Amino acid sequence: MDGRDGIDIDSLAVGTRIRIGWLPDRLCVIKYLGNYRFEAVETRNSKLCAGDTFTCVHMQLGKEMCLDRLVRENLDLNYVIGTRNGLTTLEIIEE
């Protein structure tokens, strides 16, 4: 995390796992695939499903997180999480 409670995606190593959370009681573990692409590994109380992949260029506590090119099976869409209160959890759990 940098000084603004965000994660510098440019400095992530491929395979890094990050825990994100937002209200109410949503929690996901995502894995960095490189080139700003992530894969949802574990999800709880979320519309995201394990295996979903997406592009994200910015992650910061208290701010919404935009998931571009969210791919699930044959769907390719954009999705925003934490629209009301932003991310409440943001931590690197495995590098």
Asked if the model's pLDDT at residue 3 lies above 80, the reply is no
Domain ranges of the chain: 6-94
DSSP states along 14-76 = TT-EEEEEETTTEEEEEEEEETTEEEEEEEESSS--TT-EEE-S-EEBTS-EEEEEEEETTEE
pLDDT at residue 14 tops 60 = yes
Question: Residue 4's pLDDT is what?
Answer: 66
pTM for the whole thing?
Answer: 0.92
Strand partners, 89: 21
* Percent with pLDDT over 70 in the chain: 96
Q: How confident is the model at residue 40 (pLDDT cuts 50, 70, 90)?
A: very high
